[in-house]
Structure 1
Amino acid sequence: MGPKPVSEALIDLALSSSISIGGVAACGGRTSGLSGDFTLKAALTRLTAGAGCRFEIIDIHTVRILPEAPEAAGAAPTPSKPGPQPLPDPVAEILVTATKRPVAYDRLPASLSLISASQLQITGATDAAGAVRQVAGVTMTNLGPGRDKILLRGLSDGAFTGRTRSTVGTFLDYVPITYNAPDPDLRLADVQAIEVLRGPQGALYGGGSLSGVYRIITRKPEFNLLQGALTAGAAWTETGSPGYEAEGMVNLPLVHDRAALRLVAYTEVEGGYLDDVNLRLSDVDQTKRIGGRLALAVQINDTWSVTVGGAVQQLDSNDTQYVTPGPNRLRRANRIRERHKNDFGEAAVTVIGSGDWGRLESSTAYVRHAYSSLYDASAALNLYGSSTADLGVFEEYTKVDMVVEDAVLTSPGDSRLQWLAGLYGAWTLEKSPSVLRVRATAGPPVPVYVDDRSDRLITSAVYGQASYRLARGWTLAAGARVFETDLRTSSAVQAPLTGATRAFTRKAQFKGWSPQLTLQHDFQSGAMLYLLASEGGRPGGFNSGGISAPAPSRKTFQPDRLRNFEVGTKLRLFDRRLSVQSAVFYDLWNNIQTDQYLPSGLPYTANVGDGRNIGLEIEATWRPTTTLTVQANALLNSSKVTKVNPIFATRVQDRLPGVPDASVGALATYERPLRDNLSLILTAESGYVGRSRLTFDPALSPEMGGYIASKLSVQLKGPDWRVAAFVSNPNNTQGDTFAYGNPFSFGQVRQVTPQRPRTLSLLLSRTF
């Protein structure tokens, strides 16, 4: 390692040692480099000497760099209770792990966004919707908490959630937490960072990552730090009901340098703001969320560690959040409360070992995701043969159990040839019974439609990647994943009024491979240019629902495939005060899967046809002064349905639905130091969401979007406390967001999902 800035030398040390390191921007000056063999502690001591920073070895795989305390100048680095983190620099937390090995953020040949814990805190982002607004190319539907889909790069199969696997892989650390379910909407409590990796990631993550990956990286237990934190807040929504939140964390050392426990717990109520005039109820769409995480980390010896943990969350929404247009846009008239529940549970064991042979990380997890919804089905009762019924209630329930194993071995050192090899296996059982009950003027509810369905999937895969540093800054990398998925579906449909029944058990097997190829050039100035080609896809499946049996052409839906071609750059300009990353992409999507609804309100899945998308995404961060940071992002894309499957429909709009052709956003953060170690922090966040349609059928889907979402805050921060006030939607706009409401009246009446009205939130947090 030759002479270079200390921060860059620390990054190189992390990469060569296969460790995670954060906060390197705290170190200044240059180092003459390292030559010879050093222990990790000796290398860190040598590199940080005289650089105005100190280090803490959290465990054998994690190091934190902090500014050197004045009274500790020249002293040996010792653990201490950290105060509030400095204003976030998105490229300061320099190592990312979305590619399953530590990689320097600005050397990664892919389009990736990183949102640090401090940025989440300063912007008040506590869920996926609040986080993804800060990065380019990400949109979300807005049906309600626990019902939404994350969409990347304008690659949307529509807003509905059914049998198709998600286009975006959602992960808690390295554990997949969804299959074909909506996002569980986990609260971002005590997380280390959010990573958003765009483009198909079939080579590393397999099916379900067709357009990218969204990862929540949690904070891990720290061995020699006794620490706690409490947060409490309240919110008031204009024309709505109030809400509150509370969150607590404790990090408890158990054995010096060997074991620690970290516990997180939270509860919150999100006040409703819609009224149901038929039920004579106000603020019907209140949501309650309660959950937590527990992690126990044990250092077995100098090379091996084990972390055992789990996460739970229960989310209950009293009603959906759509309205029907009228004089008051925040009202509707239903016959029942359309409740929704989304319960999530996870238990995982992670084993990490490293040595001269490389680094092994194995994650074994069990996930249970259960969710259910009620709908007022009265608008479609004439299709079910019940002439005397005046009320219909449809209940759908899904329980997904997954057992997942992912083990990856990465090469040691910092040689010109780097590689990784992985094994993946998953067993998934999804049970999804649904029932439609009707009620006549007199008498109890009677079932008129029942579908008792279960799907079992067994997936196995081997994957690998190798990169080689060529001459003069060129690096070539290639990877691939070979997979096999076995599907078994059973369904029993009954129509008690007519006595009709049908049942089937069918099997299918899907095999394939997903390649990836990159070529990158690192310039001496620190800039980087890359070319990327990658693929992703989703397996097929069976349709079972409907009043009558599906037509032969709709009994199955086939796998789809996405090929991505990308050119990207990453720049650090003006003494590294301006960082820019951009990518131009061209995507070809064959046999697009989509979830749709029959006129009866029951779901089915079909292949629409082929499509393509051409786009530009860009993110920039500018720090003109030490107190001001300005971030901006944009996605400009042009999608087109190039070939329509006549079995799906005779008329399809020519663009992919649910994602606008243009979306832009900006975030400005200003921090002014005050006396007595106090700081004043001001933030302004705003984003424009362009227009698009909700579904492939333009007749059923008027244009949505064309609105601005904004948020302002003022905060006062001390050494171990913070007081913050946030105002969301300060202009009190009511743009029609990308969501639908009730599938049984969809297409019969206009359904609009407005933004939450102007909301004031107050937050108080304390660390100890």
Structure 2
Amino acid sequence: MAQEDQEQQGSAHATGGEIVVTALKRGTRLQDTPLAISAVTGDSLERAGTTSFTELTQNTPSLRIVDNGPGNRRVILRGVVGAGEATVGVYYDESPVAGSVGTTSDAAGSTPDFRVFDVERAEVLRGPQGTLYGSGSMGGTVRIIYEKPKTDLLEGAGTLNLSAVKGGSPGASVDAMVNLPIVEDKLALRVVGSYQQFGGYIDNSYYGTKNINDGYSYSGRALLRFTPTDELTIDLGAYYTKVSTDASRWFFETGERHTTNARSESGNYDESRIYSGTLRYDFGPVALTAVSTYFDRDRTVVGDVSDNFNGRDTAAGCVTYLKPAGGVCTPAQLAPYLDLTRTIQFSSLYQPQGVKNWTNEIRLSSTDGGPFNWTFGGYLEDRKSWVRSTLLSANPASGELNPFIPANIYYDRTINDHLKQKALFAELSYKFFDKLTATVGTRWYEYDKTVGGVVDQGQIHYASVPSAYTEAQTTENGFVHKFNLSYEFSRDLMIYAQAAQGFRPGGVNQAIGLPAALSAYTADSLWNYELGVKSQPIQGVYFNLTGYQIDWSNMQVSARTSGAGSVFGLISNVGAARIKGVEAELNASPIDGLSLIANVGYTDAKLTEDQVSQVVVAAGRKGDRLPFVPKWNVSGSAEYGWSLSDSLDASVRLDASYSGSSYSTLAKTDVYRRKVDEYALVNARIGVEAPDGNWSAHLYVNNLFDALAITTKSSSANTGGLTVTHGAPPRTIGLSLAKRFR
């Protein structure tokens, strides 16, 4: 196929603007793609020691990942962040992955993470991709494209990584790949497996335990490629990953780095599976692509909430929460109240949950390479998600939980969430005079969302009582559009202007007793206007510059009802925001052996309207900065390689990144608002390798200067106002060995 041929040209050794990408769902050279897109080859990711998509922040301006540990990550592009469905689409090959909605309908905060090994390239599409990638891509799209089976080559590869984190426990990882041709030029299998032992560094001062986050993960994938004819390619894939670890969170108020005094367990136990099939058929001037993906995820999220109940084990607390007749608790009422409250002062929210998402897409694309290019397609999604939220008492002597003893459960609620979505999309472009290209795109979507819930066991401290199963539904449809003009002065200089729209589905709040008029919330949307320049001013130097403005309306936000009566937490559509920014990328190889990369992103993201209505109150007011969006993100790398002898090469590499300060919530008056300070990280690597790349050995130091790089802070009533903190690990020294077999 033409597309396959173009993808094959995007080899692991391509650099700068010569990388071939498929962001437009057809192969194009990076510098010829009129989008704000960052791309990095698998070879570059390997040389930088990248193992997770979270580390792509070092290669991409305006990409921010709020990292609350494995499986609990929120991906943000260009400052587009909010409660609810994801604002950035994450794809592994052609397969989208989804977060579980949880008890707060916030699927965006739990993006799953598959290990990045044996990768062809990674692409980050900045700005809304609503026409080709649909809902969940209103801020942009992240794509990890794995290496595919080769029908003409028996090969294998393996890496061993050993590390030691300052003040913590040892870490290690093993990755292996084998490519097996089964029928020459017809059938091949590629199998990858990985295991990682996390080096723990979080200490619990309450129980005197060390390195409590030293968990593990293992993952694998099997890809089968069948090419019965030159025109037909069938790819089948199965992907698996499992993570089991105590949380890497710690309390800032302890006054000690990476130290918590939590009285109960916190952790993440995550298992994800992807099964996919992709068919491509080349009819000559037209190519057909059909993709079916089944994503199945089971996870248990555990979070210590002991401090939520501090100070409530008093007679006054009994009156506040038990609300006895006459306003005074009798001895017969006080004794069981105190017993209950003191028991859950050692407790966690224990939340098993899952998501099953079946997506199907079929599209036709032109391939003749003429001035007129087009893509038409259809999309179906059926996602079922559930969560059981329980409050579990812990063993006061150890903080351990036992969810299998019913007497340990002090609250029990279950929520089901069902999203069905369908869409039709089209994108057409025409090149005039071999210079000017005009592109238009549109997507029609329709979704139905049904949410139901039941409270099997209430909790007086949550003002919750048992209730029967209730269900609510909402449906909506609409269009999003895209317009793009690009002008190629030469192969080395292009300018483009774009206006593109993005959206994400609305939903239904599952709050018992919430008035029916407030149960549903609608899709929110935005328009992104940008102007970009892509250039190669001199041989070996690529420089791209983009300026943009985003107008976001009808925002989905976490809010509460107003008035003197019952107050409910919910997601609602209130307020608007404007985001303005500039992005610059430099990729240069000024002399033989030297590679320089620099990325700069400036983002000014603020509300332009108060988040308030007649029935809903939210924290934000006009002028407030959007949370977790620093104004500046800067990153860069320098790598130099040279020959030591005919059989030995050497290299040295330095990576650095800087993130400006941000805030955890909108309002300056919010008692739970926390400032996330600016930080800088520096990583260094030095190593030797064979000239043909068949083996390598590297010594590395991550967080070279042992910076206290706090990536997120948060606080709530569940933490008793304490600040839950996550950040980069302390200084980590390691040895990485790699071998390739052909």
- Relative to the length of structure 2, the TM-score reads 0.88
What is the identity, as a one-letter code, of the residue corresponding to 1:709? L
Q: Name the counterpart of 1:560.
A: 524
Shift of 1:711: 0.7
Using a 3 Å threshold, how does the CA distance of structure 1 residues 651 and 352 change in structure 2: closer, same or farther?
closer
Residue deviations 1:671-713 (CA, integer Å, cap 9, x gap): 1122123211111111110011011233221211311011110
Q: Name the counterpart of 1:112.
A: 37
What is the identity, as a one-letter code, of the residue corresponding to 1:565? Y
Choose the corresponding residue for 2:97, options 158, 173, 177.
177
Distance 1:263 1:641 in 2: 48
Residue deviations 1:301-336 (CA, integer Å, cap 9, x gap): 121121111100001112232223334222111111
What is the identity, as a one-letter code, of the residue corresponding to 2:501? E
Residue deviations 1:511-560 (CA, integer Å, cap 9, x gap): 01110010000012520000101011111112224xx6346675333321
CA contact (8 A) 1:322 1:741 kept: no
Residue deviations 1:141-190 (CA, integer Å, cap 9, x gap): 12112211111112222xxxx6x111100001111111425221211011
Shift of 1:502: 4.5
Q: Name the counterpart of 1:34.
A: none
| Correspondence list, 1:374-413, <5 A | 374-381=302-309, 382=312, 386-388=337-339, 389-390=341-342, 391=344, 392-413=347-368
Structure 1 position 352 matched with structure 2 position 337 = no
SS where residue 178 of structure 1 aligns? coil
Q: Name the counterpart of 1:201.
A: 129
Distance 2:637 2:459 in 1: 58
SS where residue 407 of structure 1 aligns? strand
What is the identity, as a one-letter code, of the residue corresponding to 1:420? T
Q: Name the counterpart of 2:504.
A: 538
Shift of 1:249: 0.4
| Correspondence list, 1:510-525, <5 A | 510-524=476-490
| Correspondence list, 1:50-449, <5 A | 62=8, 89-93=15-19, 95-157=20-82, 164-179=84-99, 180=107, 182-381=110-309, 382=312, 386-388=337-339, 389-390=341-342, 391=344, 392-438=347-393, 445-449=407-411
Choose the corresponding residue for 1:761, options 709, 734, 739.
734
Residue deviations 1:545-579 (CA, integer Å, cap 9, x gap): 4xx6346675333321111001001000112x210
Using a 3 Å threshold, how does the CA distance of structure 1 residues 705 and 553 change in structure 2: closer, same or farther?
farther
Using a 3 Å threshold, how does the CA distance of structure 1 residues 482 and 18 change in structure 2: closer, same or farther?
same
Distance 2:558 2:700 in 1: 37
Q: Name the counterpart of 2:400.
A: none
Distance 2:292 2:727 in 1: 41
With 426-435 and 372-381 compared, the bigger mean Cα shift is at 372-381
Choose the corresponding residue for 2:424, options 462, 466, 470.
462
Using a 3 Å threshold, how does the CA distance of structure 1 residues 676 and 430 change in structure 2: closer, same or farther?
same
CA contact (8 A) 1:427 1:459 kept: yes
Using a 3 Å threshold, how does the CA distance of structure 1 residues 693 and 597 change in structure 2: closer, same or farther?
farther
Residue deviations 1:242-268 (CA, integer Å, cap 9, x gap): 100001100001011111110000000
CA contact (8 A) 1:325 1:752 kept: no
Distance 1:543 1:387 in 2: 33
Structure 1 position 19 matched with structure 2 position 1 = no
Choose the corresponding residue for 2:683, options 705, 711, 736.
711
Shift of 1:287: 3.0
Using a 3 Å threshold, how does the CA distance of structure 1 residues 608 and 656 change in structure 2: closer, same or farther?
farther
Structure 1 position 587 matched with structure 2 position 553 = no
Distance 1:233 1:440 in 2: 37
What is the identity, as a one-letter code, of the residue corresponding to 1:572? Q
Using a 3 Å threshold, how does the CA distance of structure 1 residues 184 and 440 change in structure 2: closer, same or farther?
closer
Distance 1:535 1:275 in 2: 46
Using a 3 Å threshold, how does the CA distance of structure 1 residues 246 and 525 change in structure 2: closer, same or farther?
closer
Residue deviations 1:624-677 (CA, integer Å, cap 9, x gap): 101111111011121210112222325546111101011111111111122123
Q: Name the counterpart of 1:47.
A: none
Shift of 1:399: 0.6
SS where residue 131 of structure 2 aligns? helix
Distance 2:589 2:408 in 1: 64
Distance 2:739 2:536 in 1: 35
CA contact (8 A) 2:372 2:430 kept: yes
What is the identity, as a one-letter code, of the residue corresponding to 1:452? T
Choose the corresponding residue for 2:707, options 723, 733, 742.
733
What is the identity, as a one-letter code, of the residue corresponding to 1:345? R
With 498-507 and 333-342 compared, the bigger mean Cα shift is at 498-507
Aligned residue pair count: 683
SS where residue 18 of structure 1 aligns? helix
Distance 2:530 2:98 in 1: 27
Choose the corresponding residue for 2:582, options 607, 616, 622.
616
CA contact (8 A) 2:559 2:619 kept: no
**Unmatched runs of 5 consecutive residues or more in structure 2:** 100-106, 313-319, 323-336, 398-404
Residue deviations 1:706-740 (CA, integer Å, cap 9, x gap): 11011110121113100011111111111322243
With 509-518 and 729-738 compared, the bigger mean Cα shift is at 729-738
Distance 1:728 1:758 in 2: 6
Q: Name the counterpart of 2:316.
A: none
CA contact (8 A) 2:665 2:674 kept: no
SS where residue 218 of structure 2 aligns? strand
Distance 1:767 1:288 in 2: 25
Using a 3 Å threshold, how does the CA distance of structure 1 residues 449 and 605 change in structure 2: closer, same or farther?
farther
Shift of 1:743: 6.4
Distance 1:139 1:283 in 2: 27
Using a 3 Å threshold, how does the CA distance of structure 1 residues 384 and 260 change in structure 2: closer, same or farther?
farther
Shift of 1:136: 1.0
Sequence identity, in percent?
25
SS where residue 660 of structure 1 aligns? coil
Residue deviations 1:216-240 (CA, integer Å, cap 9, x gap): 1011000010001111111100001
Shift of 1:467: 0.5
Using a 3 Å threshold, how does the CA distance of structure 1 residues 291 and 709 change in structure 2: closer, same or farther?
same
With 445-454 and 422-431 compared, the bigger mean Cα shift is at 445-454
Shift of 1:608: 4.5
Using a 3 Å threshold, how does the CA distance of structure 1 residues 318 and 741 change in structure 2: closer, same or farther?
farther
Q: Name the counterpart of 2:402.
A: none
Choose the corresponding residue for 2:635, options 650, 665, 681.
665
Shift of 1:384: 6.7
> What RMSD, in angstroms, separates the aligned Cα atoms of the two structures?
2.5
Distance 1:197 1:97 in 2: 11
With 735-744 and 168-177 compared, the bigger mean Cα shift is at 735-744
Distance 1:332 1:521 in 2: 56
Distance 1:338 1:533 in 2: 44
Using a 3 Å threshold, how does the CA distance of structure 1 residues 595 and 729 change in structure 2: closer, same or farther?
farther
Distance 1:430 1:596 in 2: 22
Using a 3 Å threshold, how does the CA distance of structure 1 residues 64 and 468 change in structure 2: closer, same or farther?
closer
Distance 1:754 1:193 in 2: 27
Distance 2:451 2:190 in 1: 40
